[in-house]
Chains A and B, each alone.
Chain A
Amino acid sequence: MNLRVRAKKKFPGFTLDVNFSVHSNRVGIFGRSGSGKSTLVHLVAGMLDPDAGSVELDGEELCNVEKGTTVPPERRRVAVVFQAAHLFPHLNVKRNLFYGFQRTSPALRLVDPDALIEILELRPLIHRHVDTLSGGERQRVALGRAVLASPRLLLMDEPLSALDEGLKYQIIPYLSAVYREFRIPYLFISHSMNEMRLMTDEIIVLHHGLVSDHTTPERLARERMGWTRAGYINLLHLSRPHEVDGMTAYEWGGTRLLIAGKGGEGESVFELSSKDILLFKQHPEAISARNLLPCRVVSIFGLEGRVGVELDCGGDRLIAQVVDQAVEELGIREGAELFAVIKASAFRLLY
């Protein structure tokens, strides 16, 4: 996908003024509330026209204020998944799903409805009324409805924000599966760093209506380590769980990770803060923490008094965080051999 947005839009007390182009298929728009994320969605979808500038998708001008042209939303083939689903309340699940499909000419239909219904596990819901659906089910239907319109670009406007913490991460595998299957490029709008890391390859950071950074999820996560309380969040994709002494064990980094509590079936994603990793210079005698991993320092990056240490643990990567003094005392430098210690309870299951 090639999306170029050069647009200005004024509101009382707020101005969006952006100029960027993105080329990945999985693009994130990251920013706090009030940074202009939703206005950007409106401009790209055609629900708003900019005061000046243009929006261009894959070489086609969707609007150009200087030339006085604008393509109406129904002809842009840009579908939106809203924060609160916004299903049509007078239609059942099936008619909601097919609303856009029926309005897409057969030649442009790229998505097989049966395959999509299968992936989103909507079969049992198909004849239900939308009022009877749970939050997560509603969001799956909203995603299905947008994808079935075979859009050139999918705009996901904080699709997980209205869901509670546990549910949020249950939806992400569906989003990923839909992308894997149908390869529809998307803009994923969110203020959650984890969602950005899991869903995108390229990120536009908005701040007070301006583009403050054009980066990658990994770079952004490392920069944020310097000032966020949670530190850097390591996301571990772990599979083939087996039970050991009431804990769950996974093969990882050439060794075994022990995690308190139960993991999911198949692949699970766990988060682990850089602050929860202790580094030792030598092999400790006996420790209460259940995970002791030999590792090698790959790189070091410093940020406002905190130092991020990128570790190679038998081929897998981890980022730990220490203070300046610790760097000297442990002799942390590229290539140094260390031991990382992690408590089994430090891992948090996302999905």
Chain B
Amino acid sequence: MFDFSPTDIQAITLSAKVASAATLAALPFGFAAAYLLVYSRLPGKPLLDGVINLPLVLPPVVVGYLLLLLLGEHGWLGGHLARWGIRIIFTWKAAVLASMVVGFPLMVRSIRIGMEGIDERLVQASRTLGARPLDTLMTVILPLSGRSIMAGATLMFARSLGEFGATILVAGNIPGITRTIPLAIYDYTNSPGGDRMALALCLVSIVLSFAILLLNEALVRRFKRERER
């Protein structure tokens, strides 16, 4: 039906790889950030909340440009990394990083809502029964946040699949290396006669996103069943 070129196939696998890596890498941080926002007594909580949510309201291009300034060869972090022989910009890692930053607020938001729904007295019960804060976190808060963590991961994965603005600035649009599905679609729509392939990749996008939604539903249902057991 559609004749995908090797670079198209690479774009599809790269997209999946970038979104998965970004989601998995962001999970511990997302959980920690949500925990701090819900349970800690940090004085600078509103500020932390603002910083975490900033990428949600900033244009992705701005996020991308700031990352470029930070990670570029003359950037503050990029310079240090270059000395260790590590280069991030214009590699797939940059695409992962861009997705992480842009999708992070969605993940934190979702986990946080779940955590806020946990009855405070369960946390108190666990503490009075001899559990230290970290113990309570691992044995009460984490298991009871399961569904919201899955929902957050799904949202972030979907957001990563669609990430364009920040990615194109920090990772570029190098076929086979940093060209993800959205970038490939953009390319096709800019070249004559590319409409058909653009549509084909759109379909792939839809199928992938839908599959993720179904997977999430199945996981949530299984999680619920396990809890009921």
How far, in Å, is A254 (CB) from chain B's closest CB? 48
How far, in Å, is B144 (CB) from chain A's closest CB? 6
Decide yes or no whether A72 CB sits under 8 A from chain B.
Answer: yes
- The segment from A96-104, A118-126, A161-169, A232-240 that touches chain B is A96-104
Cβ contact within 8 Å between B126 and A89: no
Chain A residues near B125 (CB, 8 Å)?
A: 80, 82, 86, 88, 145
Chain B 110-150, CB within 8 Å of chain A: the 1/0 string?
A: 00000000010110111111111001000110011000000
- Complex Cα distance, B157 from A279, in Å, reads 81
**Interface residue tally on A, bucketed by range:** 20 to 34
Cβ contact within 8 Å between A72 and B127: yes
Decide yes or no whether A115 CB sits under 8 A from chain B.
Answer: no
Cβ contact within 8 Å between A90 and B130: no
Decide yes or no whether B83 CB sits under 8 A from chain A.
Answer: no
8 Å CB contacts to B: which residues of A69-122? 72-80, 82, 84, 86, 88-90, 92, 99-100, 103-104
Chain A residues near B130 (CB, 8 Å)?
A: 74-75, 77, 100, 103-104, 149
Query: Which of B127, B129, B132, B144 meets A90, CB within 8 Å?
Result: B144
- Complex Cα distance, B228 from A229, in Å, reads 46
Please count the residue pairs between chain A and chain B whose beta carbons lie under 8 angstroms apart in the complex. Answer: 67
Main secondary structure of the interface of B (DSSP, over half): helix
Query: Which of A76, A82, A92, A145 meets B121, CB within 8 Å?
Result: A82
Cβ contact within 8 Å between A45 and B131: no
Cβ contact within 8 Å between A45 and B124: yes
Chain B residues near A89 (CB, 8 Å)?
A: 122, 144, 227
Q: Which residue of A lies closest to B223 (CB)?
A: A90
8 Å CB contacts to A: which residues of B37-80? none
8 Å CB contacts to A: which residues of B186-229? 227-229
Query: Which of A47, A90, A92 meets B128, CB within 8 Å?
Result: A47
- Complex Cα distance, B228 from A92, in Å, reads 9
How far, in Å, is B86 (CB) from chain A's closest CB? 41
Q: A103-B135, A129-B228, A129-B229 are in contact. Are A86 and B127 (CB under 8 A)?
A: no
How far, in Å, is B210 (CB) from chain A's closest CB? 30
Decide yes or no whether A308 CB sits under 8 A from chain B.
Answer: no
- Complex Cα distance, B229 from A256, in Å, reads 52
- Complex Cα distance, B135 from A74, in Å, reads 10
Chain A residues near B129 (CB, 8 Å)?
A: 74, 79, 99-100, 103, 145-146, 149
8 Å CB contacts to A: which residues of B91-108? none
Chain B residues near A72 (CB, 8 Å)?
A: 127, 132
Cβ contact within 8 Å between B128 and A46: yes
Decide yes or no whether A131 CB sits under 8 A from chain B.
Answer: yes
Chain B residues near A99 (CB, 8 Å)?
A: 126, 129, 131, 139
Chain B residues near A76 (CB, 8 Å)?
A: 128
- Complex Cα distance, B122 from A111, in Å, reads 23
Interchain residue pairs with CB less than 8 A apart (12): A45-B128, A73-B128, A74-B132, A76-B128, A78-B128, A80-B125, A80-B128, A99-B131, A99-B139, A100-B130, A103-B129, A145-B125
Chain A residues packing against B (C-beta within 8 Å): 45-47, 72-80, 82, 84, 86, 88-90, 92, 99-100, 103-104, 129, 131, 145-146, 149
Besides A74-B135, A100-B129, 18 other CB < 8 A contacts? Answer: A46-B128, A72-B127, A72-B132, A73-B127, A74-B127, A74-B128, A74-B129, A74-B130, A76-B128, A77-B130, A80-B125, A86-B121, A88-B126, A89-B227, A99-B139, A103-B131, A104-B130, A146-B129
